[in-house]
Chains A and B, each alone.
Chain A
Amino acid sequence: MSALVESPLLLVGWDYRQTPVELRERLAFPPDKVREALNAMRHEGLLAEGVIISTCNRSEIYGVRGVAMGDRDPFDAVTEFIARFHGIPQLEVDSSGYRYSGGEAVRHLLRVASGLESMALGEDQIIGQVREAFRLASGAGATRSVLHRLFQKALETGKRVRSETGLSTKPISIPGVAMELAQKIYEDITPRKFLILGAGETAGIFFDLLVARGAKNIEVANRTLARSEELCRRAGKALPWEDLATRLPHADIVVSATASTTPVITLETARQAMALRRGKPLFFLDLGIPRNVDPRISELDNAFLYAVDDLQEIAERNRQERQKEIGPALEILEEELQEFVSWFGALAVVPTVTALRKKFESIRETDFDRQLEKMAHIAEGDREKIRLMAQSMVRSLLRHPTEAIKEEPDPGRRLDRAEAVRHLFALDVEAKD
């Protein structure tokens, strides 16, 4: 990790843990602002490379220190810019958030991409958001060798954690649990008939979720027809409330989320519906508080009933199971972190210059000196002179590239040059031998 202590790599961020939502909203970057901010920071020489991750839970600026940073504290320089950019008083911007450099910044990004920093542990959306942030920055020309490699590593780590551990497998949200249960009764829910009761917020969430999952057959019944019609503008069919009993036998999955204080599906209604279904299963999801569906329905053959409490209990259990997967996830993370750190460490000036010199010297020794030994017709004294000439030639050849790396004031460009040299002279290949 020592290679990264005085690192040009830095991170300034604000997330849901310390920063109130009001401030987070003002610190957010819509896509066009991301481009604008990255361009400005590079233009001012604050950053040589930069990526901005901006979601509703976090705003993070990853960067490689720029040429104009000089002796200034790079974190102060970046936060000053952010305050200026968003028109937020400096004091407020500085009141929360976190700052990491080098290995700590890398570790944080890998944690973010793996879902370990998310509010809902192990959630899946964040990896897409990280990918999108990287794509935006690349599109703006703001990533070069370091952040390119870093974000590739982050996406790789996120993918590995998700496929090799159970951190993201079991659902922990109520709708997620409900869908998993539905898919244990009907594997493919897209052709299934859904009946949603109610047209309030919860019903709306489920409606959107079902449409997103490709459900083609959704009916919505609400006491006020106008509200269900409103919900069904894009898809689905609004039903008058009176049709509930007649449509129930046709539904495969019922989602009930009304504000009714008495059950909207009584035992008798359900019994009649089940008789008409002739053995086909019917899944009741009761999201109403108080309950919308008579609990005794769960005793009917082929009827499955889950209420909010049941779903919450499963979600909580799954959440605990995800907690157990943090350890294995961290193992993967540290493995990937080490790989990046050793690549990044080798990119520093001294190891690169040393490796380059070694490479040249070894070519001189193996290809030149040995051939010279074989030329017996040359007198020993002359041979020594030729050998010295070759040594001096190698030094001359190395002088300019060495200076170009060592004396480059822009740390980002310095890393680029080191990377180019390592690549052109295959120094990494050499190092592994």
Chain B
Amino acid sequence: MMEPLGWGIAALILYVAAEVFSIMHLRSDAKVHSTLATVLLLLGFLVHLAALQIAARVTHAVPYRDLAASMSFFAWMVAASYGVLLLRHREGSTGPFLIPIAILFLGASLVANPQHLAGADPKLSGPIFAFHVTMAILGYASLSLSFVLAQLYLIQNRQLRRRQLGLLFSRLPALDVLSSIHRTSVALGVAALTIASVLGLIWAKQNWGTYWDPKVLFTFLIIAIYMLTLFPRRIGWGGKRVAFVSIGGFMLLMFSYTIVNLFITQEHVFR
């Protein structure tokens, strides 16, 4: 049987091919290119799943032990989230900007070459913990897509307002479509992050006897901020403000993922 590394490389090649056809679709607007891109992405997703499966069989856990493995898992979740957006909105023109996130993280993971160590702390292997990590990574993945989508919205908005209609103008979808794709990805991210937090709290109570972890505070703050962008009409926000807040939310998420993990709490570090 092929090693996880082999499957990972195969998945990477398929993602890159999907990206190439996405770009060709953006240039030509030909249906055949977007169909090919979708098929290649789906194949990449399945091959990537196989790679993760094989790794998981070795470690008997969701791949979160080492940074390299978790990056691959993150990339897979990015592909999954983008698949959800495609299915929901049938709009492939954002692909060229979103698929690279998966390529980047899977590529980085392969370069770092994960070790797939078995037999870590048994406390970190229960189903609640595994589900907590899975949902958290799905949340991060969806919100990364939101981050890029918010920027695409701002680009399109700026082109329209400044009356500078560049190449991207004719190929990017309408503002209302970009808004609604962004909304879907934020909703997916917020839902996943909320489930992850609740599971994390349950697990913390069971294992530490307390709900307290500074990361919880940050995560709830981030969820609250993103929630605002889901109901812009209620609070009278336009698309531009929603996009800015979404970008701000993502910055905070990155802060929470790096600084908070490293310096404030000791429990969220990849070892």
Given A184-B175, A279-B233, A314 and B160 touching (CB < 8 A)?
Answer: no
Partner of A170, one of B170, B237, B241, B242: B170
Residue numbers in A under 8 Å from B174 (CB-CB):
183-187
Task: Evaluate contact between B238 and A281: CB separation under 8 angstroms.
Answer: yes
Q: Does B122 contact A (CB under 8 A)?
A: no
Q: Does B119 contact A (CB under 8 A)?
A: no
Task: Evaluate contact between B173 and A279: CB separation under 8 angstroms.
Answer: no
- A interface with B by C-beta (< 8 Å): 170, 181, 183-187, 275, 278-281, 298, 301-302, 304, 306, 310, 313-314
15 contacts across the A-B interface (CB closer than 8 A)? A184-B169, A184-B174, A184-B175, A185-B160, A185-B175, A278-B232, A278-B235, A279-B232, A280-B233, A280-B238, A281-B176, A281-B239, A301-B241, A302-B239, A314-B165
Residue numbers in A under 8 Å from B232 (CB-CB):
278-279
Task: Evaluate contact between A278 and B176: CB separation under 8 angstroms.
Answer: no
Residue numbers in A under 8 Å from B209 (CB-CB):
none
Residue numbers in A under 8 Å from B237 (CB-CB):
278-279
- Please report whether the interface of chain B is mostly helix, strand, loop or mixed according to DSSP: helix
- Please report whether the interface of chain A is mostly helix, strand, loop or mixed according to DSSP: mixed
Partner of B175, one of A281, A301, A310, A313: A281
Q: Which one of B163, B169, B175 has the highest number of Cβ atoms from chain A below 10 Å of its Cβ? A: B163
Residue numbers in A under 8 Å from B215 (CB-CB):
none
In the bound complex, how far is the Cα of B174 from the Cα of A127, in angstroms? 29
Distance in angstroms from B93 CB to nearest chain A CB is 12
Distance in angstroms from B149 CB to nearest chain A CB is 15
Task: Evaluate contact between B239 and A184: CB separation under 8 angstroms.
Answer: no
In the bound complex, how far is the Cα of B237 from the Cα of A281, in angstroms? 10
Distance in angstroms from A118 CB to nearest chain B CB is 22
Partner of A279, one of B176, B177, B236: B236
Q: Does B256 contact A (CB under 8 A)?
A: no
Given A279-B233, A279-B237, A301-B240, A186 and B176 touching (CB < 8 A)?
Answer: yes
Partner of B176, one of A181, A185, A275: A185
Residue of A nearest to B240 (CB): A301
Residue numbers in B under 8 Å from A280 (CB-CB):
233, 238
Residue of B nearest to A307 (CB): B163
A-B interface, 10 closest residue pairs, ranked by CB to CB distance from nearest: A187-B174, A279-B238, A278-B236, A302-B238, A279-B237, A187-B177, A184-B174, A185-B175, A278-B233, A186-B176
In the bound complex, how far is the Cα of B161 from the Cα of A275, in angstroms? 19
